[in-house]
Amino acid sequence: MSSPEPIKFTDGAAYERFMAPWSRSAGTLFLDWLAPRPGLAWADVGAGNGAFTELLVAKSAPSSVCAIDPSDAQIATARQKFAAKPVELSIGDAMALPYDRDRFDVAVMALALFFVPDARKGASEMVRVTKPGGMVASYTWDIVRGGTPTQPLWEELDALGIPAARPPSADISRFEALKALWAEIGLSNIETRELVVERTFADFDDYWLSMVVSSPSGVMGKLSEAQGAELKRRLQARLPASASGAITVHASATAIKGRKAA
């Protein structure tokens, strides 16, 4: 079996349908857990199309947000959301943030740390740009334990002998790995929490369009007509529907937070 290509988010509109609802559900739990006071300066690293950033602005009353992502298409989509809000959007690398040392009160990665090729370097960059006493936090889908919303799709692709694209640093989603990393980069008052969410699709067609057709892996373009039909059959058989035809899928994320030494 050949190795899958890495996941790349290059379509902000497709991401909106595919992952943004999941991001908002988990992001709400994450921000409630962080319980930040208003008026803080935030760095939102790996901001994508701004789904979590939008939630952050609405819920946490920041004084400013610097949101950064490597995809120009994702940032272009985000720009449409923040024309009149205190958000500075940039295209850049999580492993080399273009921000001064000790600039932010809070640095976060929402569903992004496992996409950073060197997770330690990305986390270290968050620490560098955070003020002494500030918070560094992240949450990722619990991939190792099957917590990602894409788990049904991945497993059925694997069963068909078609390797599903997975994040390059999937192991960092484990609580043990996260706690070890946060301690290694010098953070204290480390806490973790599991975030459990669900999403209900109107029917299987809604699920198929949202989670398969809109997938950033472009899976449908890699399948023959017969393979696509078999994948659809497998997923439809796997995902039970309610009497109304609705399909509910559950997911879980591993969250962590810590403080930079004052």
- In tens digits, what is the pLDDT along the chain, a chain of 262 residues? 344 444 555 555 677 888 889 999 999 999 999 999 999 999 999 998 899 999 999 999 999 999 999 999 889 888 888 876 789 999 999 999 999 999 999 999 999 999 999 999 999 999 999 999 999 999 999 999 999 999 999 999 999 998 888 899 999 999 999 999 999 999 999 999 999 999 999 999 999 999 999 887 778 888 899 999 999 999 999 999 999 999 999 999 999 999 999 9
Contact between 107 and 42 under an 8 Å Cβ cutoff? The reply is yes
Contact between 171 and 180 under an 8 Å Cβ cutoff? The reply is: no
**pTM recorded for the entire structure:** 0.91
- Amino acid, single-letter form, for residue 3: S
SS3 163: coil
Q: Residue holding tokens 């334990």?
A: 145
Q: Given the structure tokens 């030494």, which residue do they identify?
A: 261
Model pLDDT, residue 211 = 94
Beta bridge partners, 108, equal 44, 137
Q: Which CATH superfamily is domain 12-147+165-200+253-259 in?
A: Vaccinia Virus protein VP39 (3.40.50.150)
| pLDDT at residue 11, rounded to an integer | 56
Cα(110)–Cα(219) distance, rounded to whole angstroms? 24
What pLDDT is attached to residue 34?
98
Query: What is the per-residue pLDDT for 9?
Result: 56
Exposure of 184 in the CB half-sphere (CA atoms within 13 A): 12
How far, in Å, CA of 235 to CA of 233, rounded?
Answer: 6
